[in-house]
Amino acid sequence: YSYSSTHKEQNDPFSLVADELSIVANRLRSMVVTEVPKLASAAEYFFKMGVEGKRFRPTVLLLMATAMNISLLEPSLRGPGDALTKELRARQQRIAEITEMIHVASLLHDDVLDDADTRRGIGSLNFVMGNKLAVLAGDFLLSRACVALASLKNTEVVSLLAKVVEHLVTGETMQMTTTREQRCSMEYYMQKTYYKTASLISNSCKAIALLGGQTAEVAMLAYEYGKNLGLAYQLMDDVLDFTGTSASLGKGSLSDIRHGIITAPILFAMEEFPQLHEVVDRGFEDPANVDLALDYL
Ligand code: GRG
């Protein structure tokens, strides 16, 4: 293990990659430079200091790169890849940046779809600059992410992350379902959650492995790890929507149920309390019905 980490660092994954995370933050800001003033201020909005979000995805990816590259140095674990080089690490950092860029683009569009007014503790871009600019800024970020992705010159990695964009759209579309059977099905929920959240994390973990020259088997393990982590992350996000506060979430709580989206906490409660089915069927336009559903949680 090449890091001379203290006990504190070993227990705090963020500190292991803290320096690299600030490099990623700076690069993200430079990736959105444009001479179109409106687009520049819109695109910079969520990459400015102090409004960076949790940076969960870049953190996971940089840690994944650390783990993968160490295995390249360890003869008994070594795949067909080359020795660890600075260039490899820089290419893996690009994946962290591209992933965050795609993520932020999806947040911008998501807030338009949900008519959300807050994000990351500040006004959502659509709230501050309007829906039109928020949609265009999302498109712009996506385009810059594509250019950065192509510059890696690895067609397998390009197609993995390009497919993720379709998955994000698919997950979001699945969430718009109005059929009772789909809205109340745990299987449907898990499929939607894979597309909406886990696909980006799992495929970018796989991309880190592929860039590191790992075997197809190791790349698949990285994918599985990212998939389970992504599913768990969304499950927690869904729980926090019920238990968090505006201050802790950086946005209003109870947003899913108010939008009529039936997430895991409600689905689990429905299994335990059949009476809840009736409440769900009535819909959540009436705030009194939201309160009634909360009683079962
Ligand atoms: C334009 C790429 C693109 C997609 C369009 C709108 C849409 C389709 C997809 C939305 C997908 C979405 C918002 C999924 C939710 C994922 C999620 C858990 C978001 C919250 O992530 P955090 O908590 O946020 O990591 P921060 O702000 O910390 O980065």
In ligand 1, the atom with minimum distance to the C-alpha of 54 is 28
Burial (Cβ within 10 Å: 0-12, 13-18, ≥19) of residue 253? middle
Q: Do the domain assignments include residue 141?
A: yes
Q: Do the domain assignments include residue 194?
A: yes
Ligand 1 touching residue 54 (CB < 6 A): yes
The encoded tokens of residue 283 equal 């819909």
Q: Do the domain assignments include residue 294?
A: no
Radius of gyration of the chain (CA): 20
Ligand 1 touching residue 109 (CB < 6 A): yes
Best residue among 197, 201, 251 to mutate for probing ligand 1, ranked by most atoms within 8 Å of CB: 197
Specify which residues 122 forms β-bridges with. 119
- What is the SS3 assignment for 119? strand
Q: Do the domain assignments include residue 167?
A: yes
Q: Do the domain assignments include residue 285?
A: no
Closest CA to 228 of 254, 258, 190: 190
The encoded tokens of residue 266 equal 């409600």
Q: Do the domain assignments include residue 203?
A: yes
Range of the domain at 193: 7-253
Q: Do the domain assignments include residue 181?
A: yes
CA of 197 to the centre of ligand 1 (A): 7
Q: Do the domain assignments include residue 161?
A: yes
Number of domains in the chain: 1
ipTM: 0.98
CATH of the domain at 121: 1.10.600.10
- pLDDT one digit per residue (tens) for the chain, 297 residues: 334 445 555 667 788 899 999 999 999 999 999 999 999 999 888 888 778 899 999 999 999 998 888 766 655 555 554 445 678 889 999 999 999 999 999 999 999 999 999 999 899 999 999 999 999 999 999 999 999 999 999 999 999 999 999 999 999 999 999 899 999 999 999 999 999 999 999 999 999 999 988 999 999 999 999 999 999 999 999 999 998 887 777 777 888 898 889 999 999 999 999 999 998 898 888 888 889 889 888
